[in-house]
Amino acid sequence: MTVTEHPALTGFDEIAPDLADLYRDLHANPELSYAEHRTAGIVAERLTASGYAVTSGIGGTGVVGVLVNGDGPVVLLRADMDALPVREDTGLDYASTETAVNADGDTVPVMHACGHDMHVTCLLGAADLLAKARARWSGTLIALFQPAEELGDGARSMIDDGLYDVIPRPSVVLGQHVMPGPVGSAFASPGTAMAAARSVQIRMFGRGGHGSMPDQCVDPVVMGASTVMRLQTLVSREVSPTNPAVVTVGSFQAGTKENVIPDEAVLKVNTRSFDQHVSDQLAEGITRIANAESEASRAPKPPEITDLNSFPLTVNDPDATRRTLDALRGLLGADKVLEIGPVSGSEDVGDLATELGVPLAYWFIGGFDVTDGKPLPSNHSPQFAPVVRPTLDTGVATLVVAALEWLGDGS
């Protein structure tokens, strides 16, 4: 039996062509974090047509639809909507050619390089099927479409903007993410699921001058390079080998010409860990090392360290996650649904659950054809593009079956 032959997916074949067209449209028209106006408008229109009570503009561009269907549990299904400043290189006929102005005022390319277009489409499809199948369940269904996951604060923005004043308290928060993996598979980590992450900018100050007279200058390039190398010792020499951690300097900008020593250097640093104590340890270490290297270089003033973004540790409720995975095994087959360890990516979906102290079950679905043996593009890659179908079939089906597992019996 294919996923679309499951009793809960009755009617999917009729809406599948429209959903596929919607996915291609969203992929071709991506929007950056907090700029998801077109996407949010499509979401609100479709949820309304499916019979949901819709509230838009929560946390900027967030949208929620609520469908009350008698007494029973309240189940929240979540999808994220934002795209990334990445130039697409998939060669698809629906590839994005969009650009946008980012928060710094720069014009950047925009691409759905993390699958949020698939997330939106799958949840809209699932919300429609569940609305049409109200005889099968009882309770309240919430379809939540979140902005700015890529910044790590979209869920928090919705919460702070009164999300839980306009929707009922959920019994459980459910969500999924498309990943590099075989299409038709699902996998999740009960317990700690995704890393805590923090990004900071370090602005280091020197004293510029001619490259032939370094003794008259304070070279921020050398200062910054020393900082980059020293930061690597946080993991290799300060964090316990039993605690995984990552420190990445993803950006180093300084100077304009080979024979001019610049006045400053700017580093952007990202950390990942699976333990809050380790996350705090890395943050302290970054500040300490940046200040120490600045002082050792005779910098005219201490560095400026600015927080860019942070993501909470994503922790799945073990019981809720295993219950959900068992339901997905009934859909996909036991060999296609796996328990895995934590992954080093980061998410903010957990804020929706921890704010109320309710369980979270967050899983991944594969979205790629692995039969050709080619390496799979990672999330955030310019080549990231799940196969439309059957990824769409699987993504709609997993949301429907997971929701029905938690909603009341309508019989």
Residue after which a domain boundary falls, among 311, 331, 347 = 311
For residue 410, pLDDT beyond 80: no
For residue 113, pLDDT beyond 60: yes
Q: How far apart are alpha carbons 24 and 93 in whole angstroms?
A: 9
Please indicate, yes or no, whether residues 323 and 400 belong to a single structural domain of this protein.
yes
Average pLDDT over residues 283-301: 97
Is cis: bond before 168, omega within 30 of 0?
no
Q: How many domains does the chain have?
A: 2
Angle at 8 between CA 4 and CA 9, to 5 degrees: 30
pLDDT for 1 equals 55
Q: How far apart are alpha carbons 396 and 179 in whole angstroms?
A: 15
Please indicate, yes or no, whether residues 112 and 180 belong to a single structural domain of this protein.
yes
Catalytic residue, candidates 31, 149, 150, 264: 149
Known active-site residue 149? yes
Q: How far apart are alpha carbons 260 and 296 in whole angstroms?
A: 21
Please indicate, yes or no, whether residues 213 and 182 belong to a single structural domain of this protein.
no
Average pLDDT, the chain: 95
Average pLDDT over residues 34-38: 98
Average pLDDT over residues 126-145: 96
Residue after which a domain boundary falls, among 279, 311, 343 = 311
Q: What DSSP assignment string belongs to 32-48?
A: -TT--HHHHHHHHHHHH
- The CATH number given to whatever domain includes residue 282 is 3.30.70.360
Using DSSP bridges, classify how beta strands 314-316 and 191-194 pair: parallel, antiparallel or unpaired.
Answer: antiparallel
Residues with Cβ within 8 Å of residue 227, at least 6 apart in sequence: 202, 204, 267, 289, 290, 293
Please indicate, yes or no, whether residues 277 and 331 belong to a single structural domain of this protein.
no
Q: For residue range 356-406, what is the model confidence (pLDDT) as tens digits? A: 999 999 999 999 988 877 888 999 999 999 999 999 999 999 999 999 999
Adjacent-strand bridge partners of 226: none
Residue 330 is part of which domain span?
Answer: 3-192+313-409
Contact criterion met (CB below 8 Å) for 405 and 134: no
Known active-site residue 293? no
Q: How far apart are alpha carbons 225 and 47 in whole angstroms?
A: 52
Q: For residue range 231-251, what is the model confidence (pLDDT) as tens digits? A: 999 999 999 999 999 999 999
pTM here is: 0.92
Please indicate, yes or no, whether residues 323 and 205 belong to a single structural domain of this protein.
no
- The CATH number given to whatever domain includes residue 9 is 3.40.630.10
Using DSSP bridges, classify how beta strands 62-69 and 209-210 pair: parallel, antiparallel or unpaired.
Answer: unpaired
pLDDT for 371 equals 80
State in Å, rounded, how far the first CA of the chain is from the last one: 24
Residue after which a domain boundary falls, among 256, 285, 311 = 311
Please indicate, yes or no, whether residues 208 and 304 belong to a single structural domain of this protein.
yes
Catalytic residue, candidates 31, 36, 80, 82: 82
Q: For residue range 254-273, what is the model confidence (pLDDT) as tens digits? A: 999 999 999 999 999 999 99
Contact criterion met (CB below 8 Å) for 174 and 403: yes
Average pLDDT over residues 293-314: 95
Average pLDDT over residues 111-118: 98
